[in-house]
Structure 1
Amino acid sequence: MLEARELNLTLDFCLRVGELLLSSGAGAADVTAAMQSLSWQLGARNPEVDVTFTQLSMSYQADPEEPAYVLIRQVKHRDIDYEDLTLVDHLTRDVLNGDCDLKEARNRLGRIVSSGHILPRWAVSLGWGVMCAGVGLQLGGNLPVVAIAFVAAVSIDRLQLVMSRRRLPAFYRQVAGGGVATAIAVLAAAVAEATPLDLDPSLVVTANIVMLLAGIGFMGALQDALSGFYVTAGARLTEALLATAGIIAGVSGGLTFGQVIGVDVGQIDPGLGGDLEGVPVMALGAAICAAGFAFASYAPRRSFVPIGLIAAAAMTITQSITIGGFGRTWPTAFAAVFVGFISYGIAARLRIPPLVIVVSAVVPLLPGLSIYRGLSLLTEGGTETSEGLLALITAASVATALSAGVILGEYVAQPVHREAQRLESRLAGPRLVGPLRGRPTHAGRRERRKRQDS
């Protein structure tokens, strides 16, 4: 049985790991599993773990006649940070493998939290610009649209950074971002009217509000709901809808500004023509968008190329099946299963969490634009209400297809990966075809260390 001091340090360590995972974008089910596995490895067996959107709690009672130890930790910030997520994932694996004791693990976790990033913050702004440029290309925009989307995205990110440092709520940052995106589009439309420049300002607005849209939070909410964490799912859904409402307010303000100065931006109606000739362009835009998102989220550099290729393949699968008349939901589900299946093996080779590849690769497929359109039509009322409800239902079906497809792909990939490792252990000699060499098992690493020590 652990002593009181060591037990308190163990629970505190598990809570800190869970806080960093949850704030970096991990699902409630993954956070709970990680905390329970760490506590079991460190000697606190069968703890009670409760994960909500803003709070983590952990309790342990060694004997019914003794008082229980209960620790609670608040989740104060929620910024996607795949560098810290990867480092914590490596730390968790080392603890579970017995390569790191509690004292060393706490020291490593403290260094992860306190140390900054090698990547400068201005480079992150450029990453968001590349992402929005990829979205502009994916939507069928020409070179001026792509360039303006890049500049607008960098401007929005710098503005939101200043506002976040002043601790303004996320809703007001979304309003400011939507207003800046629309204002830049209005100015671009005014320039296009005075010059022979071929420019669709609605694509500029669309390409930049994708950066702000809460599609990722919407999909995360459905993943938590599918995993049984309904409280966390409800909180994430509320945050997603509130963030989208902020964008609507900002965009409507920008459109009003355009009407005052006599510039018509036009209806925001994204999408490329439904023919196979546009699929390669959409795939290229999806690859750029996914890689830009990964770069802006501090993902490891070795993951950029695989993420771009997977996103391009997923977009090709979705659009090719959609053109065949199968609607939008089922093609998205097939693409999500592909992403979940292939990401598991690639993540193991790159030694990064599968979440880094999965989320980045599905960003071009997220239904954020449908959420925006549905809420904006609902605010207009009248005959537009039915169209708004239809857009929201479409967004919910696509997000459900993405979440369920990714989870199913992971479930299918895990037994396939295990069987490949077992086959690998039975084969001998150099091979050019067949299962590639996997990472050594935990027992194999321990046995190798024993031989080295002896």
Structure 2
Amino acid sequence: MPALRTVRHLRTRLADLIAGESLPDPEPLVEGGLTRSEALEVLDAMARMAEALLSAGASAADVTALTLRAADGAGLQHTQVDITFTAVIVSTAGDDRHPLTAVRVVKVRANDYSRLSALYDLAHAAADGLAPDEVDTRLKRLLTQRRPYRPWMSGAGAIGLAVSVAVLLGGSWAVAVGAGLVTTVLQLVLAALNQRGLPAFFQQVAGAGIATGFALALLEWQPYLPDWIGELPPSLVVGSGIVVLLAGLSLVGSAEDAISGFYVTAGARAFETVLLTTGLVLGIAGVLDLGQRAGISLSLSFSAATSTPYLVQVLAGTCAAVTWAVSGYADGRAVGLAALAGATATGVSGACVLLGMGPVAAAGVAALLVGFLAEGTAWRWNVPGLVVSICGIVPLLPGLAIYRAIFAIVGGGTSAGLAQLVTALGTALALAAGVTLGEFCSQPLRREFDRIERRVRRRSLNRQF
């Protein structure tokens, strides 16, 4: 009888095959009890989340660690993540060794610190076992929700940053007002250019050119200004506006990616930073050269109106960090931590200068402490340490140093200008390296630092994992 049933079964299967029909086979399992279609849903959700993290400003190392941790929470323990600055590839292999892959292209990059904090929370929830369909639902809702501030509030934050930097550099109330007016014009022009799709490089050229044009105009109008305004150094007004243009560059992210072993992404971010900084240089140099050809005297004074007291420096640095956090749509918790980071950065840097350190070394020490405290403690308030670190070092960005260097080069002092430009570049690198080293030193204090993140970080040591 069993043999007869077997023969009948074979006849039935043969008839089905001849008729072009086959019995459905069960869908093979990949791992963690997931079918192939379920695994693809998980990979797609992880890729979308990784793309959103990169777009909001997270580093490649953090994105890789968060994505691997979230995939592990969903049951995919043998996931691979590859990030190449413009694309995210998340893949795993089934029992038949055929790869399952999800790819997302990173299209838009903009500072959005509130969204970045929410994405970190979502990644941690996914690592704790949140269902993939719930991850996808929360991600869609997160990407479409309104920002905590209106766009005009973000622009006001950038203006406040320029005013704070003007005070930090030793300017008077008139210099602060002038810096605010120049930055207001810059924000309006850059917003109009951005709406028309002008590339960021030309936006940097236009912004730097407008700021330098204001400096030359102010230099010509200086003898006709009322005496009650007092001394109004054009260099301080322009230097404050340049800091606003520098603040959006991904110095910290590129340095952390390079140190963590993500050289392709680090190289792309570094090239983007160099390209946008070159736009600043071209904008400044072009307008200064036009002014020189028009017969406008270029003997600008770079001496501050008054020596800034130490307490005023700390307060101005705090305001600079807060206003930049607001311009990046940070929530209340991030703004409060940014205030502490800005006060720490300017306080430590000022103290190091008083102790006899150079500006580059002082900036590096301050950034090291800011990175250590931010990455080691910010998670207690559910705020990414990267947000706090970036806002904290904004008061120390070398905007005035870059303007001095370009002014010296255009004025004929090429050697002196190049030396000042190297100093400005050294300050920027010291800030980025200091923050990154501080983040690595704070690893024992971090709650979420686990085997997955240690595996990612070992890339910097060229170990097999």
The TM tier, using the shorter chain, reads 0.7 to 0.9
Give yes or no for contact 1:216–1:363 (8 Å, CA) kept in 2: no
Shift of 1:199: 0.8
Q: Which residue of 115, 126, 143 corresponds with 1:95? A: 126
* CA 1:156–1:307: 2 relative to 1, 3 Å: same
Q: Which residue of 34, 48, 55 corresponds with 2:87? A: 55
Give 2:365's aligned amino acid: F
Give 1:149's aligned amino acid: A
Residue aligning to 1:122: 152
Residue aligning to 2:458: none
- Residues 1:170 and 2:203 aligned together: no
- Deviation readout 1:7-33 (Å, 9 max, x if unpaired): 222111111111111121111111111
- Residues 1:189 and 2:219 aligned together: yes
- Residues 1:289 and 2:289 aligned together: no
Taking the aligned partners of 2:347 and 2:245, their CA distance within structure 1 comes to 24
Residue aligning to 1:315: 346
Residue aligning to 2:172: 142
| 1:44-83 → structure 2 map (5 Å cutoff) | 44-63=76-95, 65-83=96-114
Q: Which moved more, 1:164-173 or 1:325-334?
A: 325-334
Please tell me the root mean square deviation across aligned C-alpha atoms, in Å: 2.7
Taking the aligned partners of 1:270 and 1:13, their CA distance within structure 2 comes to 55
- Residues 1:217 and 2:250 aligned together: yes
SS of equivalent to 1:46: coil
Shift of 1:358: 0.9
SS of equivalent to 2:88: strand
Residue aligning to 2:394: 363
TM-score (norm 1): 0.83
Shift of 1:186: 3.0
> Structure 2, unaligned stretches of length 5 or more?
1-30, 448-465
Residue aligning to 2:10: none
| 1:342-353 → structure 2 map (5 Å cutoff) | 342-344=373-375, 346-353=377-384
SS of equivalent to 1:56: strand
Residue aligning to 1:405: 434
Taking the aligned partners of 1:17 and 1:270, their CA distance within structure 2 comes to 49
Residue aligning to 1:231: 264
Q: Which moved more, 1:301-310 or 1:257-266?
A: 257-266
> Structure 1, unaligned stretches of length 5 or more?
419-454
Residue aligning to 1:5: 37
* CA 1:34–1:387: 2 relative to 1, 3 Å: same
Taking the aligned partners of 1:339 and 1:19, their CA distance within structure 2 comes to 27
TM-score (norm 2): 0.81
* CA 1:61–1:316: 2 relative to 1, 3 Å: same
Residue aligning to 2:17: none
Give yes or no for contact 2:363–2:427 (8 Å, CA) kept in 1: yes
- Residues 1:109 and 2:142 aligned together: no
Residue aligning to 2:53: 21
Taking the aligned partners of 2:417 and 2:221, their CA distance within structure 1 comes to 33
SS of equivalent to 1:26: coil
Taking the aligned partners of 2:412 and 2:179, their CA distance within structure 1 comes to 33
Q: Which moved more, 1:165-174 or 1:312-321?
A: 312-321
- Deviation readout 1:42-63 (Å, 9 max, x if unpaired): 1222222111221211222124
Residue aligning to 2:209: 179
SS of equivalent to 1:58: strand
Residue aligning to 2:74: 42
SS of equivalent to 1:37: helix
Taking the aligned partners of 1:97 and 1:417, their CA distance within structure 2 comes to 17
Number of aligned residues: 412
Give 2:256's aligned amino acid: Q
Give 1:131's aligned amino acid: L
Give yes or no for contact 1:295–1:301 (8 Å, CA) kept in 2: no
Shift of 1:255: 3.0
Taking the aligned partners of 1:44 and 1:199, their CA distance within structure 2 comes to 62
- Deviation readout 1:356-397 (Å, 9 max, x if unpaired): 1111001112345555666776x7598614751x44543454
> Share of identical aligned residues, percent?
35
- Deviation readout 1:238-266 (Å, 9 max, x if unpaired): 11111112122222343355456665464
* CA 1:352–1:148: 2 relative to 1, 3 Å: same
* CA 1:149–1:124: 2 relative to 1, 3 Å: same
SS of equivalent to 2:108: coil
SS of equivalent to 1:213: helix
Give yes or no for contact 1:290–1:308 (8 Å, CA) kept in 2: yes
Shift of 1:79: 0.5
* CA 1:270–1:364: 2 relative to 1, 3 Å: farther
* CA 1:97–1:138: 2 relative to 1, 3 Å: same
